């Protein structure tokens, strides 16, 4: 009996882990656009302009209030309605970037609001333009300080990839369901799926903790 279970776990793990590369591709491809949206939204949300703050707030409220699964459906079925067919992988990347960009907006905005205003005022006195202040003075230390929070958001992004199977992407969860149909052993198979997600998320968690320790060391020396 134990040999049969071991064989089942091994076969299930072999097939399920073949979906790991697509999960990594989705995370890497969506993280940086989401970060760009977060930086843009964070800058707008912490600006002195009411219009920019309003636009950033609307973006955040919409994408934090509607379930992520709904955005996948809206993009996957909505774009073809206008004769735009981008495929399931691009759909997943866009949905992940837009949704998690809203959360990153709040992370960046919080970091910017905690930035030392004296440095910004000194840069203004020295004649720095807004772009120069953001690029050279404000954003680098802010992004360094919020790296652990951004990696924490990446972990949540990993978990959300389990939902993209609804548009036909063969990632971990979809492959797990296929193995369940073949073996009729849902508990064993989904235990393997959960273990795969745990390993991936735990690796990111270790990276976040290491970076947090390094960032604290750097900032304590400044």
Predicted pLDDT of residue 53: 93
Alpha carbon 88 to its chain centroid, in Å, reads 18
Share of the chain above pLDDT 70, in %: 84
55-84 confidence digits (pLDDT tens): 999 999 999 998 899 989 999 988 888 888
As averages over each run of 10 residues, the pLDDT of the chain (222 residues) reads: 62 75 90 94 89 94 91 89 86 94 93 73 68 75 82 90 84 83 83 87 84 68 58
Render 137-158 in DSSP notation, one character per residue: IIHHHHHHHTHHHHHHHHHHHH
CA 129 to mean position of chain CA atoms: 31
pTM of the model: 0.85
Would you state the structure tokens that stand for residue 149, as one six-digit string? 């929070």
Calculate the average pLDDT of the chain: 83
> What are the CA-CA distances from residue 77 to residues 61, 164, 166, 190 (Å)?
23, 13, 12, 29
What does the pLDDT read at residue 26?
A: 92
Task: Tell me the CA distances in angstroms from 61 to 52, 55, 103, one per residue in order.
Answer: 14, 10, 10
CATH superfamily, region 2-221: MetI-like (1.10.3720.10)
């Amino acid at each position: 009996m134990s040999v049969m279970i071991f064989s089942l776990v091994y076969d299930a793990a072999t097939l399920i882990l073949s979906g790991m590369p697509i999960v990594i591709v989705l995370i890497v491809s969506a993280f940086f656009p989401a970060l760009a949206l977060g930086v843009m939204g964070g800058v707008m949300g912490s600006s002195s302009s009411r219009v920019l703050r309003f636009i950033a707030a609307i973006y955040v409220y919409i994408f934090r209030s509607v379930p992520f699964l709904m955005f996948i459906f809206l993009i996957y079925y909505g774009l073809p309605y206008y004769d735009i067919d981008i495929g399931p992988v691009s759909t997943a990347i866009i949905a992940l970037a837009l949704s998690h960009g809203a959360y990153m907006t709040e992370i960046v905005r919080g970091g910017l609001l905690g930035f030392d205003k004296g440095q910004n005022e000194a840069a203004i006195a020295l004649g720095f333009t807004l772009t120069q202040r953001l690029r050279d003075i404000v954003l680098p230390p802010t992004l360094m300080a919020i790296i652990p929070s951004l990696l924490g958001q990446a972990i949540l992004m990993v978990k959300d990839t389990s939902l993209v199977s609804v548009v036909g992407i063969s990632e971990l969860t979809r492959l797990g369901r296929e193995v369940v149909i073949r073996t009729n052993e849902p508990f064993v198979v989904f235990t393997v799926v959960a273990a795969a997600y745990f390993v991936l998320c735990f690796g990111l968690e270790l990276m976040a903790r290491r970076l947090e320790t390094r960032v604290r060391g750097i900032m304590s020396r400044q």
